[in-house]
Amino acid sequence: MDLSARNLRVLVTAGAAGIGRAIAKAFADAGARVHICDVDQKALDEFKRDISGAGHSLVDIADPVAVATLFEEVRRGLGGLDVLVNNAGIAGPTAAVEDITPGDWERTVAVNLNGMFYCTRAAVPLLKAAGGGSIVNLSSVAGRLGFPLRTPYAASKWAVVGFTESLAIELGPFNIRVNAIQPGVVAGERINRVIDAKAKALGLTFDAYKAQLLSKVSLRRTVSAEDIAGMALFLSTPAGQNITGQSLSVCGGVQTLA
């Protein structure tokens, strides 16, 4: 199985921490030339110290002007693009639908969906110029299951699936593969914040809600950021050269989020 990413030119959004950092490191370790962007300057500084040789930009991908500047930096730094990993996303609010503000809804969609669109539309000409490539979009198991009290997040992640499948058909003739990854309960600070918010909304303790959540996972455990990174690498290297239009769960078998 060929998982070499040698000389691939890769952009990972929100690549300074969490899943994005794991993806960026996996590609770099496999020989790719990597550029990341992130909205968190402190995380970018830590990334620069720990992973040398990668390009980096401070960017809010919900801002189309900032995304245009990002891609100018990618062109200068990498000379083109072979892989786009649309990893950036936010958890959004945890609340009953009638208590969610329009501002919270709009911000969730702006980052999770609009930002993905801005990056993809800028990336496609570069991928076409390269003779093909791979786009990997981060959805979620909430993009295939209902997620009560988390409707902005779930709606945006379902939309990512439609975006992915449509682009796979559109871009296939240009040898551009487009797939989505649907992570489950990924261990780390972000899921801890989500569990804490959901536990409070349900009147449960953190540990009680976490146990309830994992009881609906076939393997009864979380997955790691490195698990997600491995799938992104697989989809973007020769090992995954005939996979496109798919939404692949890396979740341990999540049955329900209700």
Catalytic residues: 153
Beta partners for 247?
A: 180
β-strand 133-138 against 247-250: which pairing, if any? unpaired
The three-class DSSP label of residue 151 is helix
State how far the Cα of 182 lies from the Cα of 161, in Å rounded to an integer.
9
Query: Angle formed by the axes of helices 41-50 and 18-29, to 10°?
Result: 30
Contact 209, 161 (CB under 8 A): no
Beta partners for 255?
A: none
Beta partners for 36?
A: 12, 56
Q: Is 6 exposed, middle or buried (0-12, 13-18, 19+ CB in 10 A)?
A: exposed
> What's the Rg (C-alpha) of the chain?
18
Contact 123, 166 (CB under 8 A): no
State how far the Cα of 70 lies from the Cα of 50, in Å rounded to an integer.
22
- The b-or-e profile of 13-48 (16+ CB within 10 A means b, else e) is bbbbbbbbbbbbbbbbebebbbbbbbbeeebbeebe
DSSP character for 99?
G
Backbone angles phi, psi at 33, to 5 degrees: -95, 120
